[in-house]
Amino acid sequence: MQEIFTKEQIKAKKQARLYMEKEVSTVADEMDEQAIFPKDLFFRLGKLGFTGIMCPKKYGGSGMDTVAYAGVAEELSRGWLAFGGTYSIQMTVSQLILNNGTEKQKKKYLPRLCTCESIGAIAMTETAAGSDVASISSTAMPCKHGYLLNGSKLFITPGGEADIYIVLFNTGSKRTDKAMFIVEKDTPGFYFGRKERKMGYKSSPTRELIFENCFVPSANIIGKTSNGLHVTLKALECGRIGVGAVAVGLAQAALDQALTHAKQRVQFGKPIADFQGIQFMLADMATSINAARQLVYYSARLRDAGASYNCEAAMAKLFASDTAMKVTTEAVQIFGGYGYMLDCPVQRYMREAKALQIVEGTNQIQRIVIARNILGNMT
């Protein structure tokens, strides 16, 4: 680890792990079962400097890099996916504003996101527009001094808890006429639907967003009225690094539990870790996690170097989330009957892992992105 990471990156990673072990992991199972969003605990991430890790110091951040962010995301998710996943969304929101917003927008919103005074969310998905983001039907109609927003967004996390929403709307008749708007929680005409009942990832709430003649000033547009789709897709690239890191952390948590159980569980007079069948499972789990981790940090380093990382981020998201699904399932198998009981944490890991194969572009979409890159077809 010393040869791969800088001292600053290692310090951030260790601090994140320590915070999760001392203050968060112990309450994760109970809060997940009750679907409680850990707002006070999440607010502490700002105090510790984690939510501003990739923002310049002039906006209240610490000016670190993508590798440091990935390390923190991994450790937070190793403690609790709902925590790490929400953190990943927060970072994507801040990076979207940092890379595409006006100076006025940066000064207004980034300090709030960096300190976690405000929680952020991104809203693109609709009933008839999931992976095909360009097919959204929500509209932004120009009016005096701004726009009237109408439509709805589906499956938005952390809907209802977030204070700042970055939302994609149609601004014209062309498929590419789209813009991202900043909409604050208390804006008139902006409402929330019911809280969704989910299989896993329960403590990070998911809700529908509803817009009915919701007025926002022109100053709330991120970028231009015709480049929202491009802004969205670029934001997803960084988001995929985050999801990859989150998946690695979850998979590592499952392996940690499986290793401990395999050493302690005795069958036929010896620990099950002594049986070759279990050893091979653990070896495959560890190998896949390490391979996923390398993909994640490689794509993060490419981003920090200013190089193209679209394909690598897609690979990292794809492989890491598939790994998380496989490793958590294997962990349940190693635990046997205990693994299927709700009191055992590995069953929660398995339910949570499934979401990672769907968010930030399904893994089928990632394969399309990868194929287009390696075939040289970026259309």
Asked if the domains at 7-119 and 230-375 fall in one CATH topology, the answer is no
CATH of domain 230-375: 1.20.140.10
Distance CA(369)–CA(310), nearest Å, equals: 8
Select from 38, 123, 21 the least CA-distant residue to 78. 21
Model confidence at 1: pLDDT above 50? no
Sorting pLDDT into bands at 50, 70 and 90, what band is 232? confident
May I ask the CATH class of domain 7-119? Answer: mainly alpha
**At 221, which helix (H) or strand (E)?**
strand 221-222
Rounded to the nearest angstrom, the gap between the alpha carbon of residue 65 and the centroid of all alpha carbons in its chain is 17
Residue 266 DSSP symbol: E
When pLDDT is cut at 50, 70 and 90, the band that residue 129 belongs to is confident
On whether the CB atoms of residues 223 and 100 are closer than 8 A, the answer is yes
Each residue of 54-66: pLDDT tens digit?
A: 999 999 999 999 9
Q: Which class is domain 121-228?
A: mainly beta
CA quadruple 226, 104, 232, 146: dihedral positive or negative?
negative
What's the pLDDT at 226? Answer: 80
pLDDT at 370: 96
Mean pLDDT for 129-139 is 89
Q: How does pLDDT run across 67-121, given as a tens digit for each residue?
A: 999 999 999 999 999 999 999 999 999 999 999 999 999 999 999 999 999 999 9
What does the pLDDT look like over 328-340, one tens digit per residue?
999 999 999 999 9
Separation of alpha carbons 243 and 98, rounded Å: 20
Is the predicted pLDDT of residue 36 greater than 80, yes or no? Answer: yes
**How do strand 207-217 and strand 146-156 relate by DSSP bridges?**
antiparallel
| CB atoms near residue 374 (< 10 Å) | 10
Residue ranges per structural domain of the chain: 7-119, 121-228, 230-375
Contact indicator for 237, 310 with CB cutoff of 8 Å: yes
Per-residue pLDDT tens for 235-280?
A: 889 999 999 999 999 999 999 999 999 999 999 999 999 999 999 9
Whether the predicted pLDDT of 287 surpasses 70: yes
Q: What is the mean pLDDT of the chain?
A: 94
pLDDT, tens digit, for every residue of 166-218? Answer: 999 999 888 889 999 999 999 999 999 999 999 999 999 999 999 999 999 99
Averaged pLDDT, 340-366: 95
162: CB partners within 8 A, 6+ apart: 118, 119, 120, 121, 185
Q: Which residues are catalytically annotated?
A: 360
**Residue 174: Cβ within 10 Å count:** 10
Pair of tokens at residue 288: 């896949």
